[in-house]
Amino acid sequence: MAQSPLRFAILGFGRIGRRIARLRPDVAAVLVRPGQEYAARSLLPDTVIATTLQQVLAVGPRIVVEVASASLLRAVAVPVLSAGVDLIPLSLGAFCDEAFLAAATAAAGPGRLVILPGTMGSLDLLGAARESGLTAVKYVSTRPPRGLARTLLTDRFDLDAMTQATLVWSGSARDAGRDFPDNCNLTVGIALAGMGLDATWVEMVADPAAIRTTHRLIFSSGGSDGYLVVEAPPIPPGGDPADFAAFSVLRLLRRWQAPVFI
């Protein structure tokens, strides 16, 4: 049976947006900032290159993928969902604002808000544990100190002088997503899949001996306990986030079209 075309759009043309566009050139529309039009048309000659959300929605996408920023997500979530279009957001830190999360949730209905696991790889195990009654969820990030440059931690620690693994921050997923949007964005997805933004605990460890960034998800529930570990190359400040964020979007788009949904 032939697959029907999946009409989707991308909001944002940064590193992640360009990666998705290169691997899925069948994208119907891409929202770009003024000045990016030429680069976008060079990569996607058959795609609508838009500078407004109205132009994106005019092509009739079934799915819109946000890969730009928390500020853009705040501006587009309600209009997209209210138009009956499914929204896949990557800038999950925006949902640390309870009022915005409530507004987006209220707007969902004809359009679904679809939260991806991103760098964590999978949240299915955590979601299943939620059904049996979660009692604790903790996410621990361990990375080289340089991976925390350009964050508020540079005012609290001499990251370049560290000689041993150090717990540099701990708190709720809400605080982590708000204060470290480039480092702890995935904690918001973990929280939404599990116990919520205020009951999910986050720890950040800077380890000068670390070569890779390690993401650990630990949880307890009435059914069982779980421990999930994902290791990834560290992303230097301003570097290329070639991680599961883009690839989880690509997998979901493929699943949406597949006759067997796995």
Q: Is 243 a residue whose pLDDT tops 70? A: no
215 is catalytic: yes
What's the CATH number for 121-232?
Answer: 3.30.360.10
- pLDDT at 98 (0 to 100): 95
Q: Is 33 a residue whose pLDDT tops 70? A: yes
For residue 121, which of 1, 216, 13 has the smallest C-alpha distance?
216
Half-sphere exposure of 196 (CA within 13 A, CB side): 7
- How many other β-carbons are positioned within 10 Å of the β-carbon of residue 157? 15
Q: How far apart are CA 89 and CA 31, in angstroms?
A: 14
Mean per-residue pLDDT, 41-65: 97
- Which residue among the candidates 91, 215, 230, 243 is catalytic per the annotation? 215
Q: What is the overall mean pLDDT for the chain?
A: 92
Question: Domain 8-114, what fold?
Answer: Rossmann fold (3.40.50)
Same fold, 8-114 and 121-232: no
Q: Is 29 a residue whose pLDDT tops 90? A: yes
For the chain, the structural domain boundaries read 8-114, 121-232
The region of weakest confidence among 126-135, 139-148, 238-247 is 238-247
- pLDDT at 1 (0 to 100): 43
Q: How far apart are CA 255 and CA 81, in angstroms?
A: 21
54-104, pLDDT tens digit by residue?
Answer: 999 999 999 999 999 999 999 999 999 999 999 999 999 999 999 999 999
Half-sphere exposure of 209 (CA within 13 A, CB side): 4
For residue 16, which of 118, 99, 129, 152 has the smallest C-alpha distance?
118
Q: Is 214 a residue whose pLDDT tops 60? A: yes
- pLDDT at 112 (0 to 100): 95
Name the packing angle between helices 15-23 and 244-257 (round to 10°): 40
Q: Is 149 a residue whose pLDDT tops 60? A: yes
